[in-house]
Chains A and B, each alone.
Chain A
Amino acid sequence: MRAALFVTCVNDALHPRTGVAVVRLLERLGVEVDFPAAQSCCGQPQYNTGLRREAEPLLRRTAEAFAGHRYVVTPSGSCTAMVRGHYPRIGRLARQEGRGGRLEAYAEDLAPRVYELSEFLVDVLGVTDVGAYYPHTVAYHPSCHGLRGLGLGERPRRLLAAVRGLELVELPGAEECCGFGGTFAVKNPDVSAAMGADKAAAAAAAGAEVLCGGDNSCLVHLDGILRRAGSPVRTVHLAEILASTEEEPFA
């Protein structure tokens, strides 16, 4: 089994540890990992801000970078939702606006091959116990794009529940958005921070040492709020917990 890693721009620049964790985890599970160097950003910041045309070159780049890869795995529900949910729409609109059918063909070709990490593990590899060890109290925040956009459902929690040593605690109001929302975080900073503060408070109230998520963009926001507040709660990406073993603690 071979899979191409779509590490995402946020992880590449700010959270390479998450990418490293995915590589370790997949290799431990017997998957050969490729990293097509031509990859970059999926274009979601541009698209969500109303600059759809600016997202088009990034769609093309992403599709070309992963051409021919049967499985494309990404540790981000948000970027998976972009490729699966919005790429086809961008392509369709480009065609309707008279710019040809090339983008649409790219989008339709790539979308079904892209998997969010927990989907790839549970649905493609068929594993929930990945042999991880992580002796901490963890609350899981299901980011909106994974929860509602992709319908990840219980997959991430099932993976966490199988981790040895890990105590999974219920996060009150788990399904509510953390307030990041891309440029929302800076365009509506007061509401964004209020939402983040409530999420951070929920994690603390749940008695979690670690607030785990599947999207580092949300976690950057939450981590910034937790640290500003001097909270002992840390944010850790799901991949880093799953990559940890007794022999090689990771996160």
Chain B
Amino acid sequence: MTRAGVHGTDGMHGMRGMRGTQGADGAQAAFLGMPAFPEAARRAVHDPVLRANLRHATHTIRGRRARAVAELADWDRLRAAGKAIKDHTLRHLDRYLVQLEESVTAAGGTVHWAVDAAEACRIVTRLVHATGAREVVKVKSMATQEIGLNEALEEAGIASYETDLAELIVQLGHDRPSHILVPAIHRNRGEIRDVFAREMGRWGRPAPDGLGDDPRELAEAARRHLREKFLRAQVAVSGANFMVAETGTLVVFESEGNGRMCLTLPETLISVVGIEKVVPTFRDLEVFLQTLPRSSTAERMNPYTTMWTGTAGGDGPTAFHLVLLDNGRTDTLADAVGRQALRCIRCSACLNVCPVYERAGGHAYGSVYPGPIGAVLSPQLRGTGSRVDASLPFASTLCGACEEVCPVAIDIPEVLVHLRERIVQGGPATREGVRVRIRPARGHTAERAALRAARLLLDHPGALRAGERLLARARRLRPRRLPGPGRAWTDSRDLPEPPEQPFRDWWEQRERQDERRKP
């Protein structure tokens, strides 16, 4: 059965899935048509099953990450080194990409460059067609999700099978990923069991009768279901965690062995990788091999890491294609403050500690990149034009937990405030390589006016005092619920009780009394 045939029902939480959309642009459109963050989050907050799933999962990993990190006495130094390596690479990105291209080519690979999602999808589709294959197996990859590759291949008559367990759960469930590392984090074991029992048979080997909800049993069902696909696969599509410029080596971190299957069994391997994933030297990996697993799955080392350089004669694919993807990255690079988001190594530690993510869930972020990093990455990669992208920088209390755990020290709160500024105040930005001036967003007019008025008041102590006294005099009028925008406060909280007098009046009275007491 083809993928098109199994796409029948809507995803969870009443959101539109990506499946009905048209190729690369369609995948983005599905996200961009999303409601703004606060509306999408409201549904998640009031879904008790989802809240419980997220709470359990994020709290489990949070504690384990902290312990894994605490084992390394030099964690802060590794973090500083990782940051410096990435910053240096970004600053000389042109040089390192050219070097990478030379190394990969010398090792027998072919390098392609894609300005945007549509071009990347066209390249991959053409490469798959050239092999004659009608299906591909996929290693979990953020970049291919970002560009909507599965949808583009489907449209070209090529079935793509996600082989990561969580991606399989998402794909079989006609769902959308809600976490970078654990895309099905919003699903509990019972829900996963139901998806497997219902859907596996329509794609290939069905789930065994009487499948239970023990994670071991579920993993076993996935093993059996996917095995036939791995063993017959002619073409695999992957991303990469790192690319080494000096050697042309690509690195994939994984846990299940599906990555190894895809990277070593098929004849043709196509890797789609964001241009920011390059590092200068093989030695640089000594930093990230220590920081990524501990930040990500809270392990000293993930079960499997594969490093390959071009086509290794007699071992693995005989054809290797690397598609280097821009898709908004150079625009992000052009922003001196926002650029640091390109340091991200997709560990997802920031998601797991984020109190907003824990309650809103990943879908509310309207992007394959959810959580704090998504809130700074999506509006840069896609621009701030859509409702959801313009709302993302405000989807944070600026509590700083994300920055604290980030293994490459991205100051996410700083970038959030910077992007808020672009949205509310307007300012320079780069879109598709062109410098533009973003105009203040209309949706923030009232807020802008209110804060400006507040500033005027606060900058004029006489007026401020008059206001404070007015508040004090009106204290008996304190309503339980405010009308209009004030409802956002009073729907869930009582209003504070205004004092009899502001502090400055108390101080002044006291000063006068002291004066009188003086001889």
Residues of chain A whose beta carbon lies under 8 Å from any beta carbon of chain B:
7, 9, 11-17, 19-20, 23, 35, 37-38, 40-41, 43, 45-55, 57-58, 61, 89, 144-145, 148-149, 175-177, 179-197, 220-221, 223-225, 227-228
List of A residues within 8 angstroms of B423 by Cβ: 50
Known: A49-B424, A51-B452, A177-B401. A188 touches B37 (CB 8 A): yes
| Chain A residue at minimum C-beta to C-beta distance from B504 | A12
In whole angstroms, what is the CA distance A181 to B354 when docked? 13
Which chain A residue has the least Cβ–Cβ distance from B448?
A51
Closest chain B CB from A113 CB (angstroms):
21
| Complex Cα gap A188–B38 (Å) | 5
List 11 other contacts, CB 8 Å, given A38-B461, A50-B423.
A15-B499, A40-B459, A41-B458, A50-B420, A54-B452, A148-B399, A182-B398, A188-B41, A194-B45, A224-B492, A228-B493
Please judge, given known A-B contacts A51-B451, A51-B452, A54-B455, whether A148 and B400 are in contact too, CB under 8 Å: yes
CB contact under 8 A between A189 and B468, given known A35-B504, A48-B417, A194-B45: no
Q: Are A12 and B502 in contact (CB under 8 A)?
A: yes
| Interface window among B87-95, B121-129, B264-272, B483-491 | B483-491
B306 at interface (Cβ–Cβ under 8 A)?
A: no
B397 touches A179 (CB 8 A): yes
How many angstroms from the CA of A35 to the CA of B423 in the assembled complex? 37
Chain A residues near B399: list those with CB within 8 A: 144, 148, 176-177, 181
- B355 & A176 in contact (Cβ 8 Å cutoff): yes
Nearest Cβ on chain B to A59's Cβ, whole angstroms: 11
Give A27 Cβ to nearest chain B Cβ, in Å.
11
Are A187 and B38 touching (Cβ within 8 A)?
yes
Bound form: Cα–Cα A55–B485 in Å: 23
Q: Which of B359, B444, B455, B493 contacts A221 (CB 8 A)?
A: B493
Q: Are A54 and B451 in contact (CB under 8 A)?
A: yes
Q: A16-B503, A179-B355, A224-B496 are in contact. Are A190 and B38 (CB under 8 A)?
A: yes
Q: CB of B360 within 8 A of chain A?
A: yes
| Nearest chain A CB to B282 CB, angstrom units | 35
User: CB distance A184 to B503 under 8 Å?
Assistant: no
Q: Are A180 and B498 in contact (CB under 8 A)?
A: no
* A-B contact number at CB 8 A: 192
- From the candidates B425, B488, B494, B502, name the one contacting A50 in the complex (CB within 8 A): B425
Chain A contacts of B403 at CB under 8 A?
A: 148
Within 8 A of A (CB), among B7-38: 37-38
**B residues less than 8 Å from A188 (CB atoms):** 37-38, 41, 356, 394-395
Is B421 an interface residue, CB under 8 A from the partner?
yes
**CB-based contact B498/A14 at 8 Å:** yes
B471 to A184, Cβ gap below 8 A? no
> How far does the alpha carbon of A198 sit from the alpha carbon of B447 in the complex, in Å?
28
Nearest chain A residue, comparing its CB with the CB of B441: A50
Question: In the complex, what distance in Å separates the CA atom of A207 from the CA atom of B359?
Answer: 25
Does B46 have its Cβ within 8 Å of any Cβ on chain A? Answer: yes
Q: What chain B residues lie within 8 Å of A51 (beta carbons)?
A: 421, 424-425, 448, 451-452, 455
Q: Which of B396, B471, B494, B501 interacts with A227 by CB under 8 Å?
A: B494
In the complex, what distance in Å separates the CA atom of A220 from the CA atom of B498? 11
Shortest C-beta distance, B35 to chain A (Å), equals 13
Give Cα A173 to B467, complex, Å: 38
Tell me, in angstroms, the Cα distance from A195 to B356 when the chains sit together. Answer: 8
CB contacts (< 8 Å) of B355 on chain A: these are 176-177, 179, 195
Contacts of A89 in B (CB 8 A): 414
Question: Residues of B contacting A55 with CB < 8 Å?
Answer: 455
How far is it, in angstroms, between the C-alpha of A69 and the C-alpha of B393 when the chains are bound?
37
Given the complex of chains A and B, what is the CA–CA distance between A184 and B41 in angstroms? 13
Say what secondary structure dominates the interface of chain A. Answer: helix
Smallest CB separation, A207 vs chain B (Å): 22
> Chain B interface secondary structure, helix, strand, loop or mixed?
helix
Is B422 in contact with chain A by the CB < 8 A criterion?
yes
Chosen A-B contacts, 24 in total, with CB atoms closer than 8 Å, are A7-B504, A12-B503, A13-B467, A14-B499, A16-B506, A19-B503, A20-B506, A37-B504, A37-B507, A40-B461, A45-B451, A49-B447, A50-B419, A51-B452, A54-B452, A54-B455, A182-B398, A183-B447, A185-B489, A188-B394, A190-B45, A192-B492, A221-B493, A225-B492
Taking a contact as CB atoms closer than 8 A, the residue among A16, A144, A148, A189 that contacts B38 in the complex is A189
Say yes or no: is B429 at the interface (Cβ < 8 Å to chain A).
no
Q: Which among B45, B492, B508 has the highest number of chain A CB atoms within 10 Å? A: B492
The verdict on B495 contacting chain A, using a C-beta distance below 8 Å, is yes
- For residue B435, CB closer than 8 A to chain A, the reply is no
Is B454 engaged at the interface, CB distance under 8 Å to the other chain?
Answer: yes
Q: Please name all residues of chain B whose beta carbon is closer than 8 Å to the beta carbon of A19 when the two chains form the complex.
A: 503, 506-507
From A38, which residue of chain B is reached at the shortest CB distance?
Answer: B461
List the A side residues contacting B414 at CB < 8 Å.
89
Q: Looking across the interface, which residue of chain B has its beta carbon closest to that of A56?
A: B455
Q: Are A37 and B461 in contact (CB under 8 A)?
A: yes
- Assess the A186–B492 pair: CB atoms within 8 A: no
**B42 near A: Cβ within 8 Å?**
yes
Q: How far is the CA of A188 from the CA of B489 in the complex (A)?
A: 10
Task: Identify the closest chain B residue to A9 (Cβ).
Answer: B458
The residue from B404, B420, B464 contacting A40, defined by CB atoms under 8 A apart: B464
| Mask: chain B, 409-430; 1 = CB below 8 Å from A; 0 = not | 0000010010111111100000
- A191 and B503: CB pair below 8 A? no
Q: In the docked arrangement, what's the CA distance between A189 and B46, Å?
A: 12
Query: What residues on A are CB-neighbors of B359 within 8 Å?
Result: 191, 194-195
Determine whether the beta carbon of B421 is less than 8 Å from that of A50. Answer: yes
Across the interface, name the chain A residue whose C-beta is closest to B353: A176
Q: A181-B398, A188-B37 are in contact. Are A228 and B494 (CB under 8 A)?
A: yes
User: In the complex, what residues of A have CB within 8 A of residue B422's CB?
Assistant: 50
Output the least CB separation between A170 and chain B (Å): 16
B417 contacts A47, C-beta separation under 8 Å = yes
B352-369 vs A, Cβ < 8 Å mask (1 yes, 0 no): 000110011000000000
User: Are A13 and B471 in contact, CB atoms less than 8 angstroms apart?
Assistant: yes
Give the Cβ gap from B161 to chain A, nearest Cβ, in Å. 35
How far in angstroms is the closest Cβ of chain A from B40?
A: 10
> How far, in Å, is B268 (CB) from chain A's closest CB?
45
A46 touches B503 (CB 8 A): no
Question: Would you call B489 and A189 a contact (CB within 8 A)?
Answer: yes
Q: Across chains A and B, which 9 residue pairs bring their CB atoms closest together, nearest first?
A: A181-B397, A224-B493, A50-B420, A50-B424, A193-B492, A177-B399, A16-B503, A186-B488, A144-B399
When A35-B504, A50-B424, A51-B424 are in contact, do A187 and B459 touch as well, CB less than 8 Å?
no
- Separation in Å of the B440 CB from the closest CB of chain A? 9
Choose among B395, B414, B448, B507 the residue with the greatest number of A CB atoms under 10 Å from its CB. Answer: B507
Chain B: minimal CB distance from A146 (Å): 11
Instruction: Name the residue on B nearest A149 (C-beta).
Output: B400
Alpha-carbon separation in the docked complex, A225 to B494 (Å): 6
| A180 contact set on B, CB distance < 8 A | 397
CB distance from B385 to the nearest CB of A (A): 16
CA A57 – CA B468 in complex, angstroms? 20
Q: How far is the CB of B147 from chain A (nearest CB, A)?
A: 29
